[in-house]
Structure 1
Amino acid sequence: MFNFTYESPVAAPSYGYAWANAATSRSDNPSADYQAIAVNRGDGTRAGVTDKVLIQRYGVGVYHVIFEELAGLAEGLHGASHVKVNAYGTGADYCNVRSMSTYSDDRGRANVRCYDGNGNPKDTTFTSAYSSTVSR
C-alpha cells in the first residue's frame, strides 16, 4: 500500500505527513526522517518546518495527529484541506479520520481512530498525510 501525492504547478500547496510508528506511546514526535511540513505563505513561497508533527494517544486506537503551523485544517480558508490516514503493516487493520479541527492558533489536528479487521479498536502504526490549497 502506498500514497501518491503530486504538486500542482499553479499553486504551492501546504502539506504535512508523518509515520506514527509508536502505536502504544502516549505521545510521539516521529523522527525527522518520517515527518515533514511545508507551509504555503501565500506569496509564492513555502516554508519548511521540521519536527513539528505530534501524535498523541488517548485510548486504544484513539489518536490525535497535530500538525504545527497548519491551522485552518477544518476551516478550509481560501481553499480545500484534506487528511488521509492508512494503517501501516500487513494485517487487516485500518484507520480513519473522525474529524479535523484547529488546535490552538497555529495547529491543525486530525482525530484518528484505528481498528482491527473485525472493527474493534486497536493500537496500530499508521501513516497520515495532510494537504491543502490554504495559504497562511
Structure 2
Amino acid sequence: MELLDIFTRFVLPPILGGIGAFLTPWAKWYFDQKIETRSSREKRIEQWRTRLLSIENFKNQPSDAFPNGRVSRNGFLSDQFAIQKVMLLPEYAAIKPHLSPETNKYINNIIKSKVILIKVGGNIYTSRLRDLISADIARLERQWKLI
C-alpha cells in the first residue's frame, strides 16, 4: 500500500502535469485555427454580400461604357451586361470556385449568348444572376456553419 501511495503522490502528478503541459499548446493552436478560419469565412461572406450583391452593379450608371440601348426602362442593366461589371470585381474571383453548377452554367450561357435581352417596363428590379449568387452565398454560409 505504501508503494501505491508514493506513486500516486510523487510520481503520477509530475507525469500528468508534463503531458498536460505538452498537449496544451497543441490544443490552443487547434482552437485558434478554428476561430481564425471562422472569422475569415465570415469576413468573406460579408464582402461578397456587400460587393457582389450591391445594386450598383446592376444599375446603369452615367459613367458606364454601355450604350443606353442596353438597359431597361427602369435603369437597370440586363444580366448580360451586369455580369461584365460583376466579373471585374476581385470578390467574384474569390467566390467563383464556390459557385454552384447551376450558377456557373447560367453565367457561361450569358457570356456565350449572342442575343441581347432587354427588360421593358416595371419598377421592380429582378435579376436571375443576382438571385443565383445570393443563393450560393447563403448555401456557403450554411455549409460553413456560420448560421
State the TM-score bracket (shorter-chain normalisation): under 0.3
Structure 1 length-normalised TM: 0.28
Is the radius of gyration larger for structure 1 or structure 2?
A: 2
Structure number having the greater strand percentage? 1
Structure number having the greater helix percentage? 2
